[in-house]
Structure 1
Amino acid sequence: MTVESPRVEDGAAIWRIARDSEVLDLNSSYSYLLWCRDFAATSLVARDADGEPIAFVTGYLRPDRPGTLVVWQIAVDDAHQGRGLAGVLLDALTVRTTPDAVETTVTPDNTASDRLFTSYARRHGLHLEREVLFDGNLFPDGTGHQPEVLYRIGPFQPTGESL
């Protein structure tokens, strides 16, 4: 397995992994192509021995807080789950970007993401705060969207090492 920046050609595979997760809010296929082009420096893809994407993490640095890495989505292909790939990608992305803090949102029913980010904070000895960022009634699609709970992890030391 290798971990590297995504390429535009990875957009379709990343979209399929997100779709097949059945947990993530699926964005348009176009948005995944743009993500691979415009946010490749703050995203990673894990590849199998044949070079095919098997997992990904997408993120960006907040414009109003450039030291804060926002993890947008993270997913592992079904056939490769249970091997700790999500944790490997999250660790590698924070080493690469050396943020002051990490933010992400998790819906209350997404226990896998809750475990991932809680164990990440614990493993690195970092503080974890949770608060509702977007209440479910703010979503316009009328599907009864669950609230998006903001997980704020940090602060990191300036070198990117944990406290």
Structure 2
Amino acid sequence: MTPRHAWRRATRDDALALRDLERTASQTGLAHVFGDLPYPDDDVLARWVLLLDDPEVAVDVVEDEQGLVVLAAHDGSTLRHLAVRPDHWSAGLGREGFARAEAAGAQRLWVLEANARARRLYEALGWTPTGVTQECPWPPFPTEVEYAAPAAD
């Protein structure tokens, strides 16, 4: 897949924008999971700072005049985070970010069990649930499901 957008590597200066993009996408797409609970701004920001400082993690982003549009955080084995600003949903950005993580070696990811939109994307790309679950670290602690890449032929 040839990217249609100008991707760049995020830096520590992007930490607040990454948190804000993740918050916007989560509050829009996962309101049925997190409801009116306060967003864990400080904890999520701290996580982004740690990820940006980790030399094993790449955080790729696309931005427009209003700020970050998409983020794809990955390491050599795992897609860590993928988020698209809601006003850009269905524009192919999630697929592009996913392809970047796969090209870098991602073979697994975790997704909220109740995140039907993301799960449809992953399954359309051939990824499947492994049957392994864990508890999300944020209240109300919903279940996360592990997905694995298709087996190589």
- Coarse TM-score class (shorter-chain normalised): 0.7 to 0.9
Map 1:61-72; keep pairs closer than 5 Å.
61=76, 69-72=77-80
Residues 132 and 145, structure 2, Cα contact 8 Å, conserved in 1:
yes
Match of 1:6 in 2: 10
1:51–1:9 Cα change, 3 Å: farther
Match of 2:67 in 1: 52
1:103–1:2 Cα change, 3 Å: same
Shift of 1:88: 0.7
Match of 1:18 in 2: 22
**TM-score where L is the length of structure 2:** 0.74
- Structure 2, unmatched stretches of 5+, are none
- Structure 1, unmatched stretches of 5+, are 62-68, 122-126, 157-162
In structure 2, what residue type is equivalent to 1:29? L
Q: Select which of 52, 59, 76 maps to 1:36.
A: 52
In structure 1, what residue type is equivalent to 2:72? V
Distance 1:151 1:71 in 2: 10
Residues 46 and 89, structure 1, Cα contact 8 Å, conserved in 2:
no
1:142–1:87 Cα change, 3 Å: closer
Q: Select which of 103, 108, 114 maps to 1:103.
A: 108
**TM-score where L is the length of structure 1:** 0.70
Runs of 4+ in structure 1 over 4 Å off: 24-27, 139-142
C-alpha RMSD of matched pairs (Å)? 2.8
Q: Which string of whole-angstrom CA distances, capped at 9 and with x for unpartnered residues, describes residues 60-102 of structure 1?
A: 23xxxxxxx211211111221220111111112222x1x2x52
Distance 2:124 2:90 in 1: 15
Distance 2:56 2:6 in 1: 15
In structure 2, what residue type is equivalent to 1:106? V
Distance 1:108 1:150 in 2: 9
| Number of residues of Structure 1 aligned to a counterpart in Structure 2 | 137
